[in-house]
Chains A and B, each alone.
Chain A
Amino acid sequence: MTSAPYALELKDLRKSFGKTEIIRGASLAVRAGERIAVIGPNGAGKSTLFNLISGRFAPTSGEVLLHGQRIDGMKPFEINRLGLSRSFQVTNIFPKLSVFENLRCGVLWSLGYKYTFLKFLADLHDANDRADELLRLIKLDRKRDVLATNLTYAEQRALEVGITIAGGANVVLLDEPTAGMSKSETRRFIELIKEVTVGKTLLTVEHDMGVVFGLAEKIAVVVYGEVIAFDRPEAVRADRRVQEAYLGAQSETHAA
C-alpha cells in the first residue's frame, strides 16, 4: 500500500447527463480499512457515484483518487487492476457458467494469468484453490457445479459479492447488496459481508437503516449529487442539515 493518507478520495466530482447535472461537486475522503455506508433519498446519485468511481462512467469534472493515484476517466478493468472492485445493484454474474467458474473468472487476472491460452485452467492450482476458498467463504460450496442462473436470488447475491472480492481488491464498493432480500436473509448476509471484507476498505450503498448501523463505522449522506455529511452514525443522525434534506426529500418522494 502507498503512503497516501486516503484509500479513496473524491474531489469536487461532477457528472452531467445532457443538461442535467446528477453529481454536483461530491467530495469524500475514506481512510484505508474504514467501512462506509452511503445513504440518501432515491435519485440522490448514490449509484451514479459508484459508477463514476468504478469507471463505468467518466466524470464530467473533478478527481477520483485511489491510494493517491488518479483513476477518473480510466476504464473499469484498469481501475479493477489497481485494486478497486464493485458489485452491482442488479445481479450481474455469468449466468451460463457454474458457480465455481464464476468465481475463478474473478480470480484469474489478479493471479497474473491475463489472456494466456497456453496453460490449462485445471493446472492453475492457486486459482482453483482460491476459487474453492471463496466458495466456502460465501457458503456456496454445495452449489459448486450448479449454473449461476439456477441459483436462488439470495445465493446469486452472495455470488455477486463473491465475484467482487475474488480478485483481492482492497477497496470494495457494494451497491445495495441486500436489495430484495428478506429480513432474515439480510441479517445473515450482513454477517457474511463483514466476514469477507475484513481488513478492506468498504463502501456500501444501502437503504435499510438496520443494515447501515449494523455494518458501517461512518455514514456518507448523498443528497442531490453532493455529500452533505460524512461522520459517525450518531453525529450524522443529529445533523440538522441531514434531517432537513433527507426527510424533506423523502416526503417529496412520498408525495410524488
Chain B
Amino acid sequence: MAYYEFKPYNVGRWAVWSLFALVLAVAPLVFRSSLAHTMLSQMGIAIVICLSYNLLLGQGGMLSFGHAVYSGMGAFLAIHALNLIGKGTLPIPVSLVPVVGGLSALAIAAGLGYVTTKKAGTPFAMITLGIGELVFAMSLMFPEFFGGEGGISSNRVTGPKPLGITFGPQIQLYYLIAVYTFICTALMYAFTRTPLGRMLNAVRDNPERVEFVGYDTQKVRWLAFMISGFFAGVAGGLAALNFEIVTSEVVSGGKSGAYLLFTFLGGATFFFGPIIGGVLMTLALVLLSEFTKAWLLYLGLIFLFMVMYAPGGFASLVMMNLRVASFGRLKELWVSYLALFGTALVAFLGGAAIIEMLYHMQLNAGAGSQLEFFGATLDVNGFNSWFGALFVLVTGLGMFESTRRQFIVQWGEIQEYIEKEMKRRESL
C-alpha cells in the first residue's frame, strides 16, 4: 500500500476516523448499564496503553517487558497531582491530569529509556525486565510516594467545574477518556507517517543498514521510547482519574505482561491491532474473570493458539479476510468458517467442562461435588461427567482437525489465485 498519496483528501481515511469517533461517542448510549460504562472507560485506557506499547513492539521491534513502569509511574504522578489540585496548590483543571501523567512518564522514559535503548533485541528485553522489577521493588520500599499496601487514593471531583462538569458521574469521565483516546490514537497514527516514525520501522527491519543511511539507531529508539512512554503515562493518568486509587500493582511485571500479551493478541503488525487488543484486555480482565476462576488458563490457551496459528493477531486475521474479500472469494469460505467455529465450540465445551471440574475439585470442594456448566449439572465424583466431557472434547477436536485440513487446502487455493491475479494485474 502506498503511504505517499497525491490525493488531497483520502475519503476512506476520513470515513474510518469518523466511524471511530462515532463509536466512541455512541457506545455509552447503546450500552447503558453502569458496568458497561465502567468497562468502556477501561477500554479507552487499555486502547491507549496497547497502542503506546505497539509503538515499541510493532513499529520499532522493541520487545519491552516493563511497559507498566511508564503507565504506572504516570498514574502515580497523576494521582499526586490530583491530590495537589484538591489541596489547592496546583492550579490546573482535573481534565489535564492525564497530561501531567504523560509528561512525567515522558521524563522518566527519557532517563530510563536512555539506558534501555542503548541495546536492541534480547538485551533490550532483558534491561526492560530488570528495570521493571527494580521499579516494582522500589514501589514497596517508598510508601511515602507509592502509598504502601493501600496505595494512594484521591478524589477526582475537585478544582474548577466548567459548565458544571465535575467528572463525578462515570459517564462524564467516560467522555473525557473517549476524547483522550481519540486524540492519542490520532497522534500515534500520525506519528507512524512522519520521518521519525518511518525510520523507526527501518530500525525494526534492519538496524545495521539504518546506520549507513545517516541515522543513529540508538537515538531513533530512544526518541520512540520517550514518545511511547508519554502516551503510556497519559493512559496511566486516565486510569488514576478512573479508579481514584493507584496501588503499586500498576507498575508490576504482571501488568507489563498483560500489555504485551494483549497487544500481541490484537495484532502488532497493523496499527489498529492494539485497539482490538485493548478491548479484549478489558473484556478478559473484567468479564472473563467474573465468569470463571480459570480465566487465566483460558487466556493462556488463547495466547498459545494465537502464537502458533496466527502470529499476526486478530488484526492480521481481519486483514487476510479483507484481502480475500477484495478478490471476491470470501463467499466460498462461509461454510468452512461456520464448520470451523462449530467444531471448535464443541471441543471448547468439552475441554472447558474438564477444566471447570478440575478447578471445582481444587477450589470449591466444600461446596459439594456438583457444579453448573452452561445449564448442565456436572458431578466431579461421577464417571459420566468426566467421560462425557472427554468424549465431547475428543469428538470436537477430531471434527475440528478434519475441517481445518479441508480449510487449509481451500485457503491455500484461494491465496494461490490471489497471487496469480496480482501478478496478472501488475503486468497489465
Residue positions of A touching B, CB distance < 8 A: 54-55, 75-77, 80-81, 85-86, 88, 92-98, 100-101, 104-106, 108-110, 113-122, 124, 128, 142, 144-145, 163-164, 166-167
Contacts and interface: CB of A to CB of B under 8 A. Distances in A.
Most chain-A Cβ atoms within 10 A of its Cβ — which of B206, B220, B223? B206
A75 B213 CA distance: 12
Contact of B211 (A75, A119, A120): A75
B201 interface: yes
A119 B194 contact: yes
B328 interface: no
B4 A95 contact: no
30 contacts: A75-B211, A76-B211, A77-B210, A77-B212, A80-B213, A81-B214, A92-B209, A94-B201, A95-B206, A96-B201, A97-B205, A98-B2, A98-B3, A100-B3, A101-B198, A101-B201, A105-B199, A105-B213, A108-B198, A109-B213, A115-B196, A116-B194, A117-B223, A118-B194, A121-B4, A121-B194, A122-B5, A142-B426, A163-B213, A166-B213
B227 interface: yes
B295 interface: no
Contacts of B191: 117
Contact of A109 (B5, B205, B215): B215
Contacts of B215: 77, 108-109, 115
Contacts of A75: 211, 216
B194 A120 contact: yes
Given A94-B202, A100-B2, A117 B212 contact: no
A27 B201 CA distance: 39
Given A117-B197, A117-B227, 15 more contacts: A54-B212, A55-B211, A77-B216, A95-B205, A95-B206, A96-B204, A100-B3, A100-B4, A101-B198, A105-B202, A115-B219, A119-B195, A120-B194, A122-B193, A167-B213
A92 B208 contact: yes
Contact of A114 (B3, B195, B208, B213): B195
A100 B202 CA distance: 13
B62 to A, nearest CB: 15
Contact of A80 (B1, B195, B205, B212): B212
B335 interface: no
A96 B3 CA distance: 14
Contacts of A144: 2
Contacts of B196: 115-117
Nearest to A164: B212
Given A92-B208, A110-B214, A115 B195 contact: yes
- Which 4 pairs of residues, A with B, have the shortest CB-CB distance? A109-B214, A76-B211, A117-B196, A94-B205
A93 B214 contact: no
Nearest to A115: B196
Nearest to A166: B213
B213 A106 contact: yes
Nearest to A142: B426
A117 B205 contact: no
Contacts of B376: none
B26 interface: no
How many residues of B sit at the interface, in one of the four size bands? 20 to 34
A86 B3 contact: no
B3 A93 contact: no
Interface in B214-242: 214-216, 219-220, 223, 227
Contacts of B227: 117
Q: Which of A88, A119, A120 has the most CB of B within 10 A?
A: A120
A94 B209 contact: yes
A167 B214 CA distance: 8
B190 interface: yes
A97 B202 contact: yes
A203 B209 CA distance: 19
Nearest to B6: A122
A120 B193 contact: yes
A87 to B, nearest CB: 9
Contact of A120 (B1, B190, B212): B190
A117 B195 contact: yes
Given A92-B206, A100-B2, A145-B2, A117 B214 contact: no
Interface in B161-220: 190-191, 193-199, 201-202, 204-206, 208-216, 219-220
A93 B345 CA distance: 44
B209 A163 contact: yes
A77 B208 CA distance: 10
A115 B199 contact: yes
B421 to A, nearest CB: 15
Given A115-B219, A117-B227, A121-B3, A104 B198 contact: yes
Among A75, A95, A109, A110, chain B packs the most CB atoms within 10 A around the CB of A109
A121 B199 CA distance: 11
A108 B4 contact: no
B211 A77 contact: yes
Given A94-B202, A121-B4, A122-B5, A76 B212 contact: yes
Contacts of B216: 75, 77
A100 B4 CA distance: 9
A4 B227 CA distance: 43
Contacts of A113: 195
Given A95-B206, A100-B2, A124 B214 contact: no
